[in-house]
Structure formats: C-alpha cells, structure tokens
Amino acid sequence: MGRIAVFGTQEINRDGHLYIGGIDTNDLAGEFGTPLYVYDTALIKDKINQFKKAFDKHEGLNWQIAYASKAFSTLAMIQLVNEQGLSLDVVSGGELFTALKAGMDPERIHFHGNNKSESELAMALDARIGAVIVDNRDELELLERMCTERDQQIAILLRVTPGIEAHTHEFIMTGQDDSKFGFNLANGTAQQAVKQALQAAHLQLIGIHAHIGSQIFETNGFTGAIRVMLKHVNQWTRELGFALNVLNVGGGFGIRYTEKDRPLPITSYIDAIVETAEEECARYRLPMPALWIEPGRSIVGEAGTSLYTVGAAKTIPGIRNYLSIDGGMADNIRPSLYQAEYQAICANRALEPKTNKVAIAGKCCESGDILIKELMLPETCSSGDLLAVFSTGAYGYSMASHYNRIANPAVVFVENGEATLVVRRESYEDLIRCDVPLKNLSPNI
C-alpha cells in the first residue's frame, strides 16, 4: 500500500493516517473512543526476543529475564509475558494478585519492594512464588519468622546498594549511599544481612540484586555495579561460605521517547553485563552465577501509543498556541512528574507540513498539565483531529489516576490487522464504585 514505516509496526498511509499493527488509528479511535492506549504487541515480542537472543549468544550462560510488571500490568500483558516464557517482577499484593489471576507460573514470580506487608508476604508464600527479593532487616526477620511458623522454605535474594546511581546520560559513584532501597554494601550492612540470611533455616539465599536506575543509555553503570557487587561477593564467599547462584542486575535499559534519546542496542547492554560478570568471576575464581535482568520500560515503552482527540485551541499572540486534548496527566503523569518529553503527530494529517508550533495541554485543573511543551503540527490540526503520542507504553496506564474524576482510558492490543480490547474504558459508575454515601442517595441520575 506504499505506507511509510515509522517505528515497530507503525506506518503512515498515503492519506496521512497513522496505522499500528496494520490498523488505522482513526478507526481504533472510532471503535474504542479516546483517550486510548494502543499496544503494538509484535513490537513487545520483538523486544523480548532481542533480550533472549542477546543472552543466547553467550553459550552455557544461565539467565532469566523478569519483566518488571510495574511498567504495565494487566491480565493480558501478564498472559503475553507468561506465554513468552519470561519471569515476572511484582512489587505489591495488587501486582501479585494480577499475576496469579493471569495464570502466571508462580515459580517465575519474584517479589520486590521496600515495605512488603505481612499479608503480602503471606500471599506470596501461599502461592509458592519463585523468590522474594529481601530489601531490609525487618523483612528478613519477618520472612524467616513466617516461614518457620509455616515450616516452609523460600528462595531469597538480597537487594544491595552498590553505591552507584545511574542517570540518563551518566552514572555517579556516591561515597555515602542514600537510598530507601536495599542493604548498603559499603558500610557492612549487606555483609551482616548475608550472615543473618545464611543462618536462617527457612530462607535459601540464592543471590544478590541491585537496580541502579532507569532510562539508562550507557553500560558503565551496570558494569560498575557488577564490579562492586562481585568484589563483596568474593569476600563473603571466603569469610562466610556464601555461594552466589544468582546475580540480578535489575532493569533500567533506556528507550526512545524523542529523537534526542539514543538507546544502545539491547545486545550492547547484555554483552557488557555478561562479559564484566565473567571477567570479575574469573578474577576472583568464583563460579559464574546465573544472570537475571528486570527490564520494564524497554519491553513495553516504545510499543505503546496514546490516542487523543484534539479539542479547544487557544492562541496567545506572541506567546504560545495551546491545543487541548481529551486526556493528560490523569493518563500520563510523566511530563508533570519528571518533565518527561514525548513526540507526537496528528494521526489523520501526518503528511501535511508541520508549520505550527503548539503546546499540547491536558484537561486537568493544573497549569502543569502540559503533555508536550513544544510540538510542530500541521496548521490545520484542530478540534476533532486525532493526536498520537508515541512511546507511552511504560508508566502511563500503570501510573494513571482518577484526578478530576477522569475515568481511565481503554487499552487495546493490535497485531496483524486485529484489535483486541484488553482493558475496557472505565464508566462513571466505576468511578464511584467504592464510594459509600452518607445517606440514601436520591435518584437524580
């Protein structure tokens, strides 16, 4: 049909319409309404395969990819992840519940978080999940006590802070760690935890974990963390008889939001991680552990596109043109929360010259609800047109709120010309479903 490829399965047709998964986004908006989250599931599977291939290249290596479900957790997404054979990270009872409901193999579920409650841990133990990533001493003691009472064994990893913090374009080593997560390596807290875990009869300490940041575009944060971790592991092996079976280096692999973002190929991250771990293990004569990673954003981020209908336009001469859309910070908090930047196009006028500089404003009662500060759009893009915002697949739906009592949008998966509704749009009734009125409601509506 002579469409122009954009990204993943995104294409621009000759009529200027954006297609995803072989479907016209204008038809998707017509059928499912806007705002709408559209996921290109072929691209999700492609990303998963890139990670798998990158590991497969390293023969004899034992590895696991755990999708960090906080990036985007729904029954359908977990089913897809389970089907692809990935493991899964959960950070709360709610994420664990979703995973179990979706039929995720409990063996492949890993439970994270810095303040897991007793009832959340009980849920994890009842389900016999694969591993708990223990964050602090209180949790270590609570878990051992619970497992003793139940006479149940559980595999654990200890989360450590290697004193390395990765930022978007650099990483820094901090002398004094200041993090709410994990056991500090530098001040001996981690060593103490290892000692304690080794003595806990019901806990099998299989490894250590670090997650150094997110949207990382370099490998040196990962390799630096591995060097620091294995240096300590060497000491614990000699002094405490610790055996490292699993080295978990977390997630944080960067993605492309705008053309300013230049993520490395997935193989570059994995090669650097594997090679550094092998080098350091050889240096200390340690057996090579299994390598686990936890990508979230890099699995789903680029696969998601948000569709909005353009509404009111306002021009402040000499200052700014505003175009308002029917969504905003309620369905995508990232611009207001961390000045995140996005790229977007007019999905029904994608081939018209982009001559109008606009700000894309959300509909919430916050001046900060600006989805995109500066975007070039066709002069003609106006009320009733369709706006497609790219790379909204991670931390969009999962961070959505009901601010201004805005109902959460629907989510559709698209592939090979087929659209599947995986989350229905919330209704007004959904919005008040947990409300308990003070008196009998008069039937106004």
Ligand X SMILES: *Cc1c(COP(=O)(O)O)cnc(C)c1O
Catalytic residues: 365
Among 17, 108, 116, 297, indicate the residue that binds ligand X (CB under 6 A): 297
The residue from 298, 306, 324, 408 that contacts ligand X (CB under 6 A) is 298
Question: Which residue stretch of 188-196, 247-255, 328-336, 411-419 sits at the interface with ligand X (rule: CB under 6 A)?
Answer: 247-255
250 binds ligand X (CB under 6 A): yes
70 binds ligand X (CB under 6 A): yes
Residue 207 counted as an annotated binding residue: no
What sign has the CA pseudo-torsion 57, 247, 210, 133? positive
Closer to ligand X by CB, 86 or 364: give it. 86
Count residues near ligand X (CB under 6 A): 17
Q: Strand 304-316 relative to strand 320-325: parallel, antiparallel, unpaired?
A: antiparallel
- Distance between CA atoms of residues 375 and 373, nearest Å: 7
Q: State which of residues 211, 232, 334, 349 lies at the interface with ligand X (CB under 6 A).
A: 211
Q: Is 234 in the site for ligand X (CB under 6 A)?
A: no
The residue type of 203 is L
Picking from 223, 297, 294, 306, the residue whose alpha carbon sits closest to that of residue 263 is 297
Least separation in angstroms between CB 33 and ligand X: 28
Using CB under 6 A as the binding rule, the residues of this chain from 389 to 408 that contact ligand X are 394
What b/e string do you get for 76-107 counting C-beta neighbours within 10 Å, with b at 16 or more?
Answer: bbbebbbebebbbbbbbbebbebbbebebebe
* Greatest Cα pair distance in the chain: 75
C-alpha 399/C-alpha 72 separation (Å) is: 9
Q: Interaction with ligand X in 85-104: which residues (CB under 6 A)?
A: 89
Kindly tell me which residue out of 93, 130, 224, 252 binds ligand X, with binding defined by CB under 6 A. 252
Contacts of 153 (CB under 8 A, 6+ apart): 147, 202, 203, 204
Burial label, 251 (beta-carbon count in 10 A; 0-12, 13-18, 19+): buried
- Any known ligand binding at 353? no
Report if residue 294 touches ligand X, rule: CB under 6 A: yes
Least gap, CB of 178 to ligand X (angstroms):
17
CB of 278 to ligand X, least distance (A): 22
Please report, as ranges, the residues that interact with ligand X according to CB under 6 A: 68, 70-71, 89, 112, 211, 214, 250-253, 294-298, 394
